[in-house]
Structure 1
């Protein structure tokens, strides 16, 4: 249903005197230039090759195209990327990335979309080597409680390959924030599917790390890594392992170490040979954990997830 003229407002930032097309989003009108829209968007390029109906509404001689299903806020952010006011901008906000990904998918703007997708993929990679090369910084402005919006965005735009790393970071690096939400079934901030994936992930990752990265803590005679064959401390190294096991067991919630690097404190009381053996087991197990990370959350393997990404 068309809005009354009295309810329409012109954008104060994106109403160009030389514009030749008006996009109406909700109650806001943007007067833009067809050639610029066509340069960035295949959808608009194709749209503008078609003749406009004779009864097409106009404002100051420019045809008006009503875009349903979009928000004026998303379009304002999107146009900010299309018409940058600065040569080099600071890190984009998550809100800007979200708006660009929504609209660049709908209006087929591949360059904008690919840039934002690469940012998310660099932050939540599918390769362990890339994860290890990343630092603590993000490719967008860091915000409080930002991982749940990213999770929702990934599902909305079909970016499946970032989900395993994202889930795992939420349950490890950000466990103080997200673990209580996962465990509280009355908290509606998690969808049923996400809560199920995370609950499944907690159980599977704890089991997986006990069989891989933390297998050096096993005191089973047949599978024990410690004492190593060339151990020079014998029972002292075994006692050190028992102490580590007790220390880890005292935690209110067991820690998940599948993405962490080796913790030097673990090897403090081990002899050189046992410490080397434990680190080897941990390093090898970490690779195994990474390969099995998607399955821990009930997802397909890395290759399948990448093939499902809608890029």
Structure 2
């Protein structure tokens, strides 16, 4: 049988291992237009769309459609078939974005990480710059390169990219907790793992320092679990960065509670000792060291509430000064290149 036209410069998602059962083809329920004139096939899924729409957005598809379709090749509803070596999920997300079938573009709403990843992968592959640019805008908003942009984030929600990850992202300790109690932390960890992998797959360097910083929010035993499938160099960067952040934080904490005007030295010393003990906890939120003082103090309220007014004011001034220096050195802490070099990659 003559072969269908293919776009082969991507992962061969539609190829089946030799001897494996062939999945029956199915039509997309959302991207199937009765008046379409071309059928895209990715894996076991087909999409009936319009040549003109794809050609308008992608020079790759435009050039492909210039190739005459042999009369003896198979068709669907009289339409030629183009086989894509991409995942059906990625193709569906991108087609829905092109057809305006979801709030994918220029949206401040939460997006699934699978949507963000698809628009970057296929936006680059098929030269659809507005798709990849929109996903890059979202990623750079959530994982910024400046402290000012980082301060504008809602640190209580971690990020605004939702998760579509398999259940293996749940830690073994989650089993005894209710779904409501574990959903936020599990989802956040899964999102960050997914974006770390996407950043390395697509060579998105500028978001790595802020992204690795978010990983330090989670216990080291979770980061090191084999099922996270993080590359060794990523694990090395995260472990080194986590250790150095702890050292920075210990040094800063030891410098707190020493105001000459302190009027409650015993209470202030107890407060500092309590904070140092909290840093030893496996789930200590190390990323809060770079948050504005008010947010930082809210996270560590139990430890800091005993500081007197004078020591609190000096601690705030020290925190604001040191966090600027820490942000500047953040790439170095994680064994990465400088901010300027990362931005230019």
Q: Deviations along 1:187-210, whole A, 9 cap, x unmatched?
A: 654332222111111111112234
**Which structure 1 residue ranges, 5 or more long, are not aligned?**
218-224
* Alpha-carbon separation, structure 2, partners of 1:306 and 1:188: 27
Q: Which residue matches 2:28?
A: 11
Q: Which residue matches 1:112?
A: 131
* Alpha-carbon separation, structure 2, partners of 1:12 and 1:227: 67
Q: Contact 2:254–2:272 (CA<8 Å) still a contact in 1?
A: no
Q: Which residue matches 2:329?
A: 292
Q: Please give the secondary structure, in 2, of the residue aligned with 1:146.
A: helix
Structure 1 residues 51, 270: closer, same or farther in 2, change over 3 A?
Answer: closer
Q: Which residue matches 1:253?
A: 281
Report the number of matched residues. 288
**Which structure 2 residue ranges, 5 or more long, are not aligned?**
5-14, 16-20, 164-183
Q: 2:221 aligns with which of 163, 171, 180?
A: 180
Q: Deviations along 1:10-45, whole A, 9 cap, x unmatched?
A: 434333333222222123232211111122223213
What TM-score, normalized by structure 1, do the two folds share? 0.79
Structure 1 residues 267, 75: closer, same or farther in 2, change over 3 A?
Answer: closer
Q: Contact 2:145–2:339 (CA<8 Å) still a contact in 1?
A: yes
Q: Please give the secondary structure, in 1, of the residue aligned with 2:111.
A: coil
Q: Which residue matches 1:46?
A: 63
Structure ID, larger Rg: 1
Q: Does 1:165 align with 2:210?
A: yes
Q: Which residue matches 2:239?
A: 199
Q: Contact 1:15–1:31 (CA<8 Å) still a contact in 2?
A: yes
Q: Does 1:216 align with 2:255?
A: yes
What are the equivalent positions in structure 2 for 1:1-311 lying under 5 Å apart? Answer: 7-48=24-65, 50-52=66-68, 54=70, 57-59=73-75, 60-68=77-85, 70-85=86-101, 91-135=110-154, 136-137=156-157, 138-141=159-162, 144=187, 145-172=190-217, 175=218, 178-182=219-223, 189-211=229-251, 213-214=252-253, 216-217=255-256, 226-228=258-260, 231=261, 233=263, 236-237=264-265, 239-251=266-278, 252-253=280-281, 255=284, 256=286, 257-262=288-293, 263=297, 265=301, 268-308=305-345
Root mean square deviation, CA, Å: 3.1
Q: Which residue matches 1:220?
A: none
Q: Please give the secondary structure, in 1, of the residue aligned with 2:206.
A: helix
Q: Contact 2:193–2:228 (CA<8 Å) still a contact in 1?
A: no
* Alpha-carbon separation, structure 2, partners of 1:210 and 1:27: 55
Q: Contact 1:160–1:305 (CA<8 Å) still a contact in 2?
A: yes
* Alpha-carbon separation, structure 2, partners of 1:25 and 1:267: 56
Structure 1 residues 87, 116: closer, same or farther in 2, change over 3 A?
Answer: closer
Q: Contact 2:38–2:50 (CA<8 Å) still a contact in 1?
A: yes
My pick for the range that moved more, 104-113 or 55-64, is: 55-64
1:160 positional shift: 1.5
Q: Contact 1:56–1:63 (CA<8 Å) still a contact in 2?
A: no
1:67 positional shift: 1.4
1:272 positional shift: 4.1
Q: Contact 1:26–1:71 (CA<8 Å) still a contact in 2?
A: yes
Q: Deviations along 1:76-112, whole A, 9 cap, x unmatched?
A: 2222222234679863222222222221121111111
